[in-house]
């Protein structure tokens, strides 16, 4: 923008900085909006100066690089090798001959204008007239886009409509990456829209500013072949239930929601309605998994009826509750869900609900959208309770494992073993070793994504038996781990 400001003499330039921290406003002055910015603090006004780079046209950049004034001498010239960063100088003779050769733009068959600040084209036909020997087969370039299957547009500040315009010419495109673009909105109903690419299967929207879940799903709905969506490290706090029967996206099988702000179980319930075919989900880094005092139950039909969890331990019960609330899920946070773990999780979830006070069946159905399905699968808890003894309660199957940090003396025969464990963990013996590692990391307050936990089982003779990664899919009881077992761990 180049304009006079009413209250300040002279011409000012409106600038939107790539780094919003360099700006001061959103493009407005004294209540008047002169230009708009993606970020409300990315704009500022500056005076035109000789130091500003406005960019050049293609032919201007070409002539600046390839046409150099002749030195008019056949004497030796000193040339600094660019790859040596000024450390090596060589002597060259008759460089003017080379300058004359490059100056013949009409002879050039190949040119490179990297970092030449080209921002615009030239008059139609001028490039062909100046450089007639340059390849002009643009059909070959167009043909390349016809076969492109992946495009990475990360850190380009490109908008969603611009992405759609670009990918419209890529009919077999399958993967689109739009990370780190500060996107707060996707589709814009006010601007012309390009037809969506119907072949796209994967959208990576990592590290943007997206927060409106319904808007995100509405924008993605156009892509009928879509199977995988990554919205890691955005600003998503809540996930409402679909407003219309046509809103869900049944084709989505993989969803990454790590490092957002999700803190209610209603959001997980809603996920199963938005994506009935969801098989893989990542939730690490959300308050629901790592935070405190999250909403355990939240109901769309009874908004005033919310139960706060009494748990203050971050992530407690998050895995079994998530598994039970999304029936289609096969993998959660990188760990495969076995059929036995699903059964245990669903029974645990049902027993937890059954202990949350006197609720009618109608209230339970409203609060828990899969309650009827779970009752049909496992029987109603009230009836099961009458048929089972106290020993059959799921909570009585939990075993206590003692965790001890590793030290070298533990490998020495006859060495004393610590009396007090670092932590005690209650788990199901049917839990896989991989999931046990994740749960141990959370209990020890270690970053799950950055920590590789090596574990040993202390045998009765005092020796340590390593629990290697080759046993990750095995259940704890298969490995001989039982109530009171001592587990030694080392953070790698």
| Same domain assignment for residues 162 and 223 | yes
- Specify the pLDDT at position 107: 83
Of 220 and 300, the structure prediction assigns the larger pLDDT to: 220
Query: Of 100, 130, 160, which residue sits at a domain end?
Result: 130
Sign of CA dihedral 447, 449, 451, 455: positive
- Specify the pLDDT at position 291: 63
| Same domain assignment for residues 148 and 267 | yes
Average pLDDT (5-23) is 78
| Same domain assignment for residues 166 and 25 | no
| Same domain assignment for residues 301 and 373 | yes
Q: Are 71 and 38 in contact (CB under 8 A)?
A: no
- Specify the pLDDT at position 448: 79
Average pLDDT (74-98) is 69
Cross-strand pairs, 50 = none
Checking if the pLDDT of 238 tops 80, the result is yes
Average pLDDT (29-45) is 82
Please write the tens of the pLDDT for every residue from 97-111. Answer: 777 777 788 888 888
Q: How confident is the model at residue 301 (pLDDT cuts 50, 70, 90)?
A: very low
- Specify the pLDDT at position 259: 94
Tell me the three state secondary structure of residue 175.
strand
C-alpha–C-alpha distance, residues 291 and 305, integer Å: 22
| Same domain assignment for residues 274 and 169 | yes
Range of the domain at 414: 398-491
- Specify the pLDDT at position 458: 87
Please name the residues in contact with 245: beta carbons below 8 A apart, sequence gap of 6 or more: none
Q: How confident is the model at residue 192 (pLDDT cuts 50, 70, 90)?
A: low
- Other residues' Cβ atoms within 10 Å of the Cβ of residue 62: 22
DSSP structure class, residue 367: H
| Same domain assignment for residues 97 and 171 | no
Q: Are 116 and 65 in contact (CB under 8 A)?
A: yes
Checking if the pLDDT of 300 tops 50, the result is no
Checking if the pLDDT of 306 tops 50, the result is no
| Same domain assignment for residues 109 and 168 | no
Checking if the pLDDT of 314 tops 50, the result is no
- Specify the pLDDT at position 408: 76
Within a domain: 392: no
98-105 contact pairs (CB < 8 A, 24+): 99/68, 99/70, 99/71, 100/70, 102/66, 102/67, 102/68, 103/66, 103/67, 103/68, 105/62, 105/63, 105/66, 105/67, 105/130, 105/131
Mean of all residue pLDDT scores within the chain: 82
Please write the tens of the pLDDT for every residue from 129-188. Answer: 888 888 776 666 777 788 899 999 999 989 999 999 889 889 999 999 999 999 999 987
Of 343 and 396, the structure prediction assigns the larger pLDDT to: 343
- Specify the pLDDT at position 183: 93
- Specify the pLDDT at position 187: 84
For residue 12, what is the domain's CATH number? 2.30.30.190
Q: How confident is the model at residue 196 (pLDDT cuts 50, 70, 90)?
A: confident
For residue 485, what is the domain's CATH number? 3.10.20.90
- Specify the pLDDT at position 82: 66
| Same domain assignment for residues 265 and 285 | yes
Checking if the pLDDT of 383 tops 70, the result is no
| Same domain assignment for residues 413 and 443 | yes
Q: Are 211 and 231 in contact (CB under 8 A)?
A: no
Within a domain: 393: no
- Specify the pLDDT at position 93: 65
Checking if the pLDDT of 392 tops 60, the result is no
Domain count, the chain: 4
Please write the tens of the pLDDT for every residue from 319-377. Answer: 999 999 999 999 999 999 999 899 988 888 888 887 776 667 777 777 788 888 888 88
| Same domain assignment for residues 213 and 116 | no
Average pLDDT (200-221) is 96
- Specify the pLDDT at position 297: 42
C-alpha–C-alpha distance, residues 367 and 265, integer Å: 10
- Specify the pLDDT at position 310: 35
| Same domain assignment for residues 80 and 10 | no
Of 215 and 473, the structure prediction assigns the larger pLDDT to: 215
The C-alpha angle 430, 436, 440, rounded to 5 degrees, equals: 145
Please write the tens of the pLDDT for every residue from 415-456. Answer: 678 888 999 998 888 888 988 988 898 888 888 778 888 998
DSSP structure class, residue 165: H
Of 311 and 334, the structure prediction assigns the larger pLDDT to: 334
C-alpha–C-alpha distance, residues 334 and 438, integer Å: 10
- Specify the pLDDT at position 293: 44
Within a domain: 51: no
Tell me the HSE value of 98 on the side-chain side, using a 13 A CA sphere.
Answer: 6
- Specify the pLDDT at position 389: 46
């Amino acid at each position: 923008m180049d304009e006079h400001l009413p209250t300040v003499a002279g011409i000012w330039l409106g600038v939107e900085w790539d780094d919003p921290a360099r700006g001061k406003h959103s493009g407005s002055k004294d209540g008047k909006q002169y230009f708009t910015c993606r970020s409300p603090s990315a704009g500022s006004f500056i005076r035109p100066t000789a130091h500003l780079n406005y960019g050049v046209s293609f032919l201007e950049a070409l002539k600046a690089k390839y046409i150099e004034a002749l030195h008019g001498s056949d004497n030796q010239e000193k040339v600094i090798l660019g790859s040596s960063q000024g450390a090596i100088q060589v002597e060259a003779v008759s460089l003017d001959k080379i300058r004359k050769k490059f100056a013949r733009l009409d002879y050039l068959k190949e040119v490179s204008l990297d970092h030449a600040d080209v921002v615009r084209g030239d008059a139609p036909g001028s490039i062909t007239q100046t450089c007639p020997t340059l390849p002009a087969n643009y059909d070959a370039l167009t043909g390349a886009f016809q076969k492109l299957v992946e495009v990475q547009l990360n850190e380009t500040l490109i908008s969603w409509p611009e992405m759609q315009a670009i990918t419209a010419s890529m009919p077999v495109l399958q993967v689109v990456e739009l990370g780190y673009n500060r996107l707060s909105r996707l589709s814009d109903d006010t601007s012309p829209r390009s037809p969506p690419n119907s072949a796209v299967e994967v959208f990576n929207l990592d590290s943007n500013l997206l927060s409106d879940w319904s808007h995100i799903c509405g924008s993605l709905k156009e892509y009928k072949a879509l199977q995988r969506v990554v919205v890691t490290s955005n600003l998503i706090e809540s996930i409402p239930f679909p407003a219309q029967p046509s809103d869900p996206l049944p084709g989505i099988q993989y969803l990454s929601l790590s490092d957002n702000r999700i803190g209610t179980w209603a959001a997980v319930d809603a996920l199963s309605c938005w994506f009935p075919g969801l098989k893989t989900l990542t939730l690490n880094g959300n308050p629901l998994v790592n935070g405190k005092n999250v909403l355990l139950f939240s109901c769309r039909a009874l908004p005033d009826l919310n139960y706060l969890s009494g748990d203050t331990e971050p992530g407690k019960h998050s895995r079994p509750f998530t598994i039970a609330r999304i029936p289609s899920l096969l993998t959660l946070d990188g760990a495969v869900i076995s059929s036995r773990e699903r059964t245990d999780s669903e029974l645990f979830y049902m027993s937890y609900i059954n202990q949350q006070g006197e609720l009618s069946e109608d209230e339970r159905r409203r609060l828990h959208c899969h309650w009827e399905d779970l009752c049909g699968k496992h029987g109603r808890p009230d009836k099961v309770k009458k048929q089972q003894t106290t020993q059959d309660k799921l909570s009585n199957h939990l075993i206590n494992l003692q965790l001890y940090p590793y030290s070298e003396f533990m490998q020495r025969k006859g060495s004393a073993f610590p009396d007090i464990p670092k932590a005690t963990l209650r788990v199901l013996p049917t839990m896989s070793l991989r999931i046990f590692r994740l749960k141990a990391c959370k209990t020890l307050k270690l970053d799950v994504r950055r920590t590789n936990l090596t574990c040993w089982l202390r045998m009765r003779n005092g020796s340590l038996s390593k629990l290697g990664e080759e046993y990750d899919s095995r259940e704890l009881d298969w490995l001989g781990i039982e109530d009171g077992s001592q587990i030694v761990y080392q953070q790698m």
